[in-house]
Every structure is written in structure tokens, then in C-alpha cells.
Structure 1
Amino acid sequence: MSAPRVSVLTATHNGSEYLDRTIRSVLHQTFEDFEYLIVDDASTDNSLTIIHEHARQDHRIRPIAHPVQAGPPGALNLALSAARGDYIAILDHDDLALPKRLERQLEFMDRHPDHGAVGSAVRQIDGYGNTLRHQTYPLHPAAAHWGLLFGASLLHSASMYRRSLVERLGGYSTNHAYLCDYELLIRIAQQARITNLPDVLACYRRHDDQTSARHSQRQNGQMLLLQYALQAAWLHHRPSLEVFSAMRRWMYGHPPAEPALAAAAVESLRTLFGQYLQGFTPQPSDQEAVALDCARRWAKMAHYSYRLHPQFSRDCWREARRLAPNLKADLAFRRSLRRR
């Protein structure tokens, strides 16, 4: 029997509440030449029963029962070792793949052999399936690569990877239990291009019982250290951990209260951008894509600090407009600029 083009991988531990809907979303794909490997990672609910019920009705499903809990990286590596497709598509046990996901991502990967991974825009939904927001990710490979310095620039549960590359890299790292997806993406990006499609091809569910919610503090700590190490390795940029953490938190809405720390964070991003352009963007189109992404980060910092640090807010907005002259501020922020 010939190998399928795509291997879809799902790992679950006590995911029965949403698992049936997740499986059905894969079975309803417009592209049908796939296998679906579902690892039950020592669940104590009826997850394995749900998997076997679907497997009896569709031969493309390959159940894998793991008697001792291995955690996300171990369970995904188990599925990866059994995968036969040219590509692997990841779907978390509580998320949904929209019907054209495999078709669109497969077409892209076949046309772009220099790419190791492709993601997509996603629709965030709550536990009941209600839409919360649409989330986009960088569409230019250079912007996606640059974005890794600040977090995952592809959503794992909406990503398709080239299987041969992932296997050559050794799969998921068990040393990064809560960030194995981000750490793998970093290694992929060091070997091949990564990007996202503009299409919304998956639904990402936000709820209190998801892994990222239950382990958010530990995950954030690991993310901080991994990003700090990445900047040092790629760019030899070594601000203090305090300054780096302040810059990172500022981008997510929490500017530092101390003016000296805010000034150091501003200078750190300025230096980071300059060093990245020198080392990683040989083409003008790459430079433009990275500059636009950086401008948006400056704009966020300007917006989040206009009450606490008016002068730093102006400085950040000036940097944003220097990199992207046509960048628009939201109404509240424009009013704050006029008041000063």
C-alpha cells in the first residue's frame, strides 16, 4: 500500500470533551490522501474509546495507545516515528481543522521546496465554539523568522512540516515540555524557510483546561529564557535579563514603571533590529518585511506607554513611523499624541 501524502498528528491526554469534534474536522477535509495518527497519552477518561470508534469507521485513522503518560513531546514523537507521509500536519486535541486546510498547505509546500513549515491565520474560539477573534501571523518568510525572537510566529496546531526535515532534526525536544513546538520551529527555521498562509484554516480553542492555561507560569518562564538565549545565539545581543524581560512584557501591554528600565528596553529593541538587518536580510524585500513587523512592535509599545511614559511613547511612535511611514495609530492613541 502506498504511503499517504500527509500524516496528521494529534496527541491527547484526557481530551474527550472536544476530541470527537477535532477528529471529525480532520475526516471532513477536501484533501483525502492522508493518515491520521492519534496518540492517547495514558488518558483516564474515554478518549481512547472515542478514537477507536472513529477508527472502526475510517481506515485512515491509526490509534496509538501509550500506557504511561509521556507528555506532549513524547507523545508527538511517538506519532512522528509511525508517520509515513511526506508532510506532517499538527492538530491539538481541542482544536479544529477547517475543510481546506490540508489541501491549501499541501499545495504550498509542494510548490515551495525551500520551506520547512507553513502555518495559517486562525479563528480563536471559546469552549462552546463561539468566535473570539481572528489571529494572523507573519506572511513573509523573513518576518516569520524575525518573529521567532519574540515568540512562535506559526501556530503549532495550524502548521504543516516537511517530515524528512523534522526527522533529521530529531523531532520534538523532551527538554522543553511546555514549549516543544516553539523550540522545534526555531530549529526548522535554521535549516529552511517558514511562513504562513493568509487563509483562516484552523480554529484554535481557548479554555481554562488547555495545557497553555494550566501551565502558563512555567511556560512563560521557559519562553523568556529560550528567547533570551536565541537572541544571544543569533545576534550576540546580550542585554541584562531584566532589560530583555522588560522589552518583552512591554510589547504585551506591560511597560516598565522605572524610566531607566524603559530607556534600556527602547535601546535594546533598536539594537536588536539593527543587528538582525545586518545578519539575516540580504534581500530588500526581506528588509521591508522585517521593518514593517518591527514598526508594529514599536507602535504597540507606543500605545501601551502613552499614559505612563509620554516621552517614551513618542519615541516609540517615531521609530514606528520611521520604519513604516504609512502606519496608522488607533484613535485613542492619535488623540493622546495631539494632547501633548
Structure 2
Amino acid sequence: MATHNPPTPFHSERTPEVSILIRACNVEKFLEEAVASVQVQDFKDWEMLILDDASDDATPMIAQRMASMDSRIRHIRQVSRQGRAKNANDGITRARGTFIAILDGDDLWSDPQRLTRQVSLLRQIPQIMLVAGGVVTVDERNERILMEYSHNELNSDQIRTRLLLDNPIPHSTAVYRRDAVIALDGYDERLSYTEDYDLWLRMGLSGKMWKLPGVMSRYRTHSGSITVRKRSLQIFEEMRLVFAYRRNYPHLIAALTSRLIPLLGSMLPHALQHILKNIIRYHTRKVSFIDNLTAAAQHALSNFTIRRISSFDELTPAQRASWDRCVSESEFGSVFQSLAWIETWWKHFGNNKTLYVLIATDAQGEIQAIFPGMMCSEKYFLREKKVLRFIGDPLNDVGEAPSRTGAQGAVMQIAHTLKELITVADIVRLQELCGDSPFFKALKNAFGSLPQISHRTTLRWRIRHNNVDAYRQHAQGIHRELKKKMKKLHKQGDISVVLQHPFSERHALLDVFFRMHIARSVQTSFHSPFHDSRLRAFYHDLIDACADADTVRMASISLKGEPLAVKYFFTFANTHSLFLTTFATQFQKLSLAIILADRLIESFFASSAHYFDFGRGDETYKRRFANEMIDNYEFIASRRSLLIAFWRIAAQCKHTLKRSDHILHIARLIKKTLQQVRYPLNARL
């Protein structure tokens, strides 16, 4: 591995465990943000080398300033332009860490726990040479464009199977062993655009690689990025590498044809493009088949007992306690899978439905995974169909089969049991599934041979407790606005903010909430569901059901003792979840609900909870407060391919309508204006 400009001596009392190499060339607009995304990592034992490849803008000055502010940062400037591979090799030579992490100066890291997760796996399994993750593509304004690469977990064999088809390892998410890369002679300096892909192909022949679930980085596309300027040359280099490693990895034809289509593009007739796409689909199906075989093997080896619960009375006191422990310990668990919520919902809305709850227990009888389901009859295309759903739909903000860490086998067994159930149910329709959850992945594998569709439906916004800096940065502007509005509110009279009402007051406050919500719906364009007395009774019973655990909370803002805004939220499974909100319409311009949310967030940072969850929706204040977002998916499977075809058409139509949402927004504003004109007129009459 060639070196350039002999490394300058660097003296330190101790050697860092991770060396982070930032390749920087004319990235003055993005470099500070890239460095800041590393500094918020909860893993602190690192050094950073900003490898400045003879930039001719303000990049050197910015890098030097950052180095003067943080002793862990070194600025290394090349005298002349070296190129990406040569610059990275120079950084590896100068690095002192056991592990190397790469970040291009125009990209940034999005998960503050990524280094902890990756380094932990590298420590535990010495055979693994590299650990990576998922990435999203963003534009110059840091707004998400699309999900780039799969963000599912891949083991070493799965990576090898896919490696020739495409590059499943985003460079900015990779952490690898320094000595392993030095043994492979580093990056190939003859390559201009695919030096990382070549290194992964060589690494796959000599060791193991692993890809963890979740998004770890944001890949930025802009007018100066290589992906935009040199895409055709990059594809040519990839094709050369594919042909060079054709004997070492499978799916040569699919790998070549998938790269030919972007190159040929408009030069080919439409019919020929269609033929090439079909060839790719055929070979991709082979990869899916291999994944399904792996899933089936894991399912056969798991030793969990699956039991169906047809009545909640069947659960013993020990199983009831184990149920909530399972939900609390699940990464994707929420109050909507807690026993109190599910039992209360079933009591009020379970008529004419069949309980279909599955629990997976280990040898000690401890519940490791839960599927809280129900079978109901619904009309589809003028015919009654048996549909399997989550208990609580459509009230649930999150639909999930919670599982404990390391219980993937239990989740897989539940998914395969649900597949067998397709002979009883006409349709399996599960909504608000977390895109990164083990259950969602297991479902797609288990139902792989049946007609199915899974599409993104909504976004969930939340704040991560250990990412306070990112939250402060996001919410800085909104804090100033809220302070001004709070001053205006104080001019009206005595203001009191209560973030946790005593249990004895919650029923009375809930009635106030219902009255306020219904009154607001009369004066505005939205429909309040609380006209339904069953729903009001459900929430009253839920407060009583959660009394012991103190899960349900209520907060309010009052003026001269009269409530002006009320929030109904939950504290469960290390998460604060906002659920219901209302406020007095005459004070709408003062953003009372947002002021109350801001106070609750401040109290959240003082607590021991991990997340503050805003739930579904795309309101502006959620985007401005949150520092994390999660995709929610809908999964539909059926024996009848015609049904799935109709759903695909419906999903596409819904997506098209979302693009025209601004027209609906204008219509709502017109309706609201007319109502505001009409009501004062009625009052005068």
C-alpha cells in the first residue's frame, strides 16, 4: 500500500480504539456538519483525521479551526491532488486506532449509537472484518430523497450472495479492522470511483462481513458529487470488477444486466428494456429463494413453544407479568401492545371478532415474543372476507409483534404460524409496522411464496434521549417562537402548566378533554371521533386499567383555572408517547398544544426514558422538534393474487393523491374561512 507525505509525529498518552477518516475535497459547505455528526456519538474513544486532498476552497481553514477546537481531530493536507483511494490509504497509514471508520466530507452520520454497536460486534467476533449499516440519500438541504441500499440485517453469507449484484455496503457506514485492510494492501489506487466496492470484494474472499439493521448514515447528492457527475464511469468500473470476480461470487448475468440498463437508457427500444428488466427479476428471485431457505432453516432450529390464546382468562398471573416484561424489553414495543391496552380495547370493541393471540415461550415458560392479533369480518369488493389484524386497529400508532433481544427464532416461528393461518383467513392485513423491526422482516420471508404487498404508509417522529444536541439544534427556532407566544398568553391572566395531573383528577380532566375536542370539531373542518360514547368509555376504563403502573398521564395548560389545552400521553417501555391533543379554538394562534408539548419534552430529558414519541402524522412542529424518524409500513398477504393486484393499484393511487395534497389543503382553508364567517353571523342573529 503506497504512502504519501510521511506521517507527522503525533504524541498522545493513549491510543484511540477507532480512527475516523474524513476524506475532504472542496466540501466547505458540508464539512462542519459532517464533523458535528461524529462528535455527538455516544462512543468517545476515537480520533479523527480530516484528509484534505488539496482543496482550493475554504475547506483547509474550516478543518484547521475544527482541529483547534477538539484535540481528537487532526488536519492532514495534501500538497497536490491524490485521488480518493490514495488519500484514504494515506489516512490508514497515519491512523492509530484498531478500527477504521470512513466518512466523506459531504456525508454525515445519523445514528449516535452506531459506533457503539459496530465496535461491540467487532470485539465479540474476531472473525468479522467489517461491520456496516443502512443509509438514506439526502439533498444539499439535508432533506431525504430515498432509502439507498437495504437497511435490513445481513449476515456474511447473505452479503456474499448479493455482493456481485450490487454494493450492499455503503462506504460511509463501514467500520473495519485496520490490520485486515493493510493485509489486503488497502484501497486499489488505480480505481477512481469504486475503490470501496473493490475492497469489499477482496474482503469477502478472506473474512466475514456483517450488516446491522437500521440507518446509520446520510449520503448526500449534490451538483459536485461523483454520483451525479461521473455515474456512467462509475458503472463501467463496477462492470470491470464484476467480470474480474465472476468466478468468486454468484449471479454474474444479473449483475451485468442490472448495470447495463442505466447505461443504455434511452438508446434502447422500450421492448428491449422490458426484456432486460424481466431477466433481472428472474435472477433476483433466486436470491429471495436463498434468503427464504435460510429463514426456514433458522425456523426449524428454534426451540420456542407457540401457543394460541383464545381468551385472556387463559393467561396465568406469571404470564401476565411476563407479557409486559416482553413488551418493555422489546426495541419496538409500545403501550399499544401492553396487556392493559389490549384487554381494555377488546372489552369495548371485541364484539363479533375472534381473538387470535400467539405467544412464543422458552423452556422456562418466559414469553419471548407476542403476536396480539384478531380475526374479523370485513367487506372487500362487496364480499365478506376473514381478515387477520392487530388488536386495536385503527387506534394504534404502532402495530408490532414485540420480541425480546435475541429472540429472532421466536419471531420467525410466529411469522410461519401466521403463514399457515392463510388457509383460514382470506387476508392478512397488518398496519403501522416499523420498517426495521424483526417481525416485519420475518413476515416478508415467511410469506415469500404468496402474493403480498408491503408499502410505506406513514412516518413516526421521535426524540432520542441521548441525542440532546441534535434536538436543541432542530428546535432552536421553535423555542424562540414559543417564548413570545407564552408572553402573550401571560398577559391574559394567571397561567398554570401541569405536566402530570394526580390520578384522582384524570377522569374529570378527560371529560373536559372530550368536551373541548368535540367543540373544536364543530368550529373547524375536522371530525371528532369522541361523539362515540364507546370510545369515551374506553379511555376512562384505560385510565383505571393503567392505574397501578401509572402508564396513562394527562397534562394541561390553564388560564385562571380554566383548561385551555390538554394532552393525553403514555409512559411505557422507556418511552413517552403523545397520543391525544386538543385545545381551545379561540387560542389557536398561540400554539397552546405545542407549548405544552415543549414543556413535556423538557421533562422527558430530565427523566430516565429513552424516547419521546410523537406518533404518526406529518405536522410541522413534529418535524421541527424530532431528531429521528421511523417508517411505518402496511403488510398485506392473501392466497388470491387478484386481491393483491387491486391493493397495489389502490396504493399507487393513494401515493398519487398525496402529491396533490396541497389542493386538499387549500380546500380545507376555504371551508374553514367560510365557517369562521358563518358562525359569528349566526351568533349575531
Smaller-chain TM-score range? Answer: 0.7 to 0.9
Aligned to 1:3: 15
Q: Are 2:178 and 1:163 aligned?
A: yes
1:138 touches 1:195 (CA, 8 Å); kept in 2?
Answer: no
- The aligned runs of 1:163-312 (5 Å cut-off) are 163-234=178-249, 245-249=256-260, 257-258=271-272, 262=276, 265=279, 269=283, 284=297
CA distance in 2, matches of 1:91, 1:259: 36
- Give the secondary structure class of the aligned counterpart of 1:269: helix
Query: Closer, same or farther in 2 for the Cα pair 1:107/1:323, shift >3 Å?
Result: same
Per-residue CA distance 1:240-273 (angstroms, 9 max, x = gap): xxx8643545699979734996599469838986
Give 1:284 deviation, angstroms.
Answer: 4.5
Aligned to 1:24: 36
Query: Closer, same or farther in 2 for the Cα pair 1:3/1:219, shift >3 Å?
Result: same
Give 1:105 deviation, angstroms.
Answer: 1.3
CA distance in 2, matches of 1:13, 1:335: 50
Which has the larger strand fraction? Answer: 2
2:165 touches 2:252 (CA, 8 Å); kept in 1?
Answer: no
Single out whichever of 170-179 and 188-197 deviates more from structure 2: 188-197
Query: Closer, same or farther in 2 for the Cα pair 1:145/1:46, shift >3 Å?
Result: same
Q: Quick one: higher RCO (CA 8 Å, sep 6+), 1 or 2?
A: 1
Query: Closer, same or farther in 2 for the Cα pair 1:143/1:252, shift >3 Å?
Result: farther
Aligned to 2:158: 143
Give 1:115 deviation, angstroms.
Answer: 1.1
CA distance in 2, matches of 1:127, 1:238: 35
Query: Closer, same or farther in 2 for the Cα pair 1:253/1:335, shift >3 Å?
Result: farther
1:172 touches 1:180 (CA, 8 Å); kept in 2?
Answer: yes
- The aligned runs of 1:111-126 (5 Å cut-off) are 111-126=124-139
- Give the secondary structure class of the aligned counterpart of 2:31: helix
CA distance in 2, matches of 1:76, 1:231: 27
Per-residue CA distance 1:72-95 (angstroms, 9 max, x = gap): 001000100011111101111011
What is the letter of the counterpart of residue 201 of structure 1? M
1:101 touches 1:202 (CA, 8 Å); kept in 2?
Answer: no
1:120 touches 1:159 (CA, 8 Å); kept in 2?
Answer: yes
CA distance in 2, matches of 1:124, 1:267: 24
User: Could you say which structure has the larger radius of gyration?
Assistant: 2
Aligned to 2:24: 12
CA distance in 1, matches of 2:93, 2:200: 18
Query: Closer, same or farther in 2 for the Cα pair 1:270/1:147, shift >3 Å?
Result: closer
1:109 touches 1:115 (CA, 8 Å); kept in 2?
Answer: yes
Q: What is the CA RMSD across the aligned residues, in angstroms?
A: 3.6
Which has the larger helix fraction? Answer: 1
Query: Closer, same or farther in 2 for the Cα pair 1:79/1:56, shift >3 Å?
Result: same
- Give the secondary structure class of the aligned counterpart of 1:221: helix
CA distance in 1, matches of 2:99, 2:224: 29
Query: Closer, same or farther in 2 for the Cα pair 1:244/1:109, shift >3 Å?
Result: closer
What is the letter of the counterpart of residue 111 of structure 1? Q
Single out whichever of 202-211 and 322-331 deviates more from structure 2: 322-331
CA distance in 1, matches of 2:212, 2:42: 17
- Give the secondary structure class of the aligned counterpart of 2:87: helix
Aligned to 1:83: 95
- Give the secondary structure class of the aligned counterpart of 1:122: strand
CA distance in 2, matches of 1:67, 1:263: 47
Structure 2: 5+ residue runs without aligned partners? 1-12, 299-443, 456-641, 650-685
Single out whichever of 329-338 and 54-63 deviates more from structure 2: 329-338
1:97 touches 1:203 (CA, 8 Å); kept in 2?
Answer: yes
CA distance in 2, matches of 1:271, 1:334: 19
Query: Closer, same or farther in 2 for the Cα pair 1:215/1:17, shift >3 Å?
Result: same
What is the letter of the counterpart of residue 175 of structure 1? R
Query: Closer, same or farther in 2 for the Cα pair 1:263/1:171, shift >3 Å?
Result: closer
TM-score, normalising length from structure 1? 0.75
Aligned to 2:82: 70
Single out whichever of 95-104 and 323-332 deviates more from structure 2: 323-332
What is the letter of the counterpart of residue 228 of structure 2? A
CA distance in 2, matches of 1:70, 1:215: 18
Aligned to 1:109: 122
| Identity over aligned pairs, percent | 26
Give 1:63 deviation, angstroms.
Answer: 1.1
Per-residue CA distance 1:46-99 (angstroms, 9 max, x = gap): 111111101111110011110110110010001000111111011110111232
- Give the secondary structure class of the aligned counterpart of 1:107: helix
CA distance in 2, matches of 1:72, 1:151: 21
Aligned to 1:325: 449
CA distance in 1, matches of 2:141, 2:249: 42
1:247 touches 1:265 (CA, 8 Å); kept in 2?
Answer: no
- Give the secondary structure class of the aligned counterpart of 2:166: coil
Query: Closer, same or farther in 2 for the Cα pair 1:253/1:328, shift >3 Å?
Result: farther
2:151 touches 2:215 (CA, 8 Å); kept in 1?
Answer: no
Per-residue CA distance 1:83-126 (angstroms, 9 max, x = gap): 11111011110111232221221112112222111111223221
CA distance in 2, matches of 1:171, 1:335: 51
What is the letter of the counterpart of residue 246 of structure 1? T
What is the letter of the counterpart of residue 112 of structure 1? I
Aligned to 1:131: 144
CA distance in 2, matches of 1:187, 1:78: 19
What is the letter of the counterpart of residue 325 of structure 1? S
Give 1:191 deviation, angstroms.
Answer: 1.4
2:20 touches 2:103 (CA, 8 Å); kept in 1?
Answer: yes
- Give the secondary structure class of the aligned counterpart of 1:91: strand
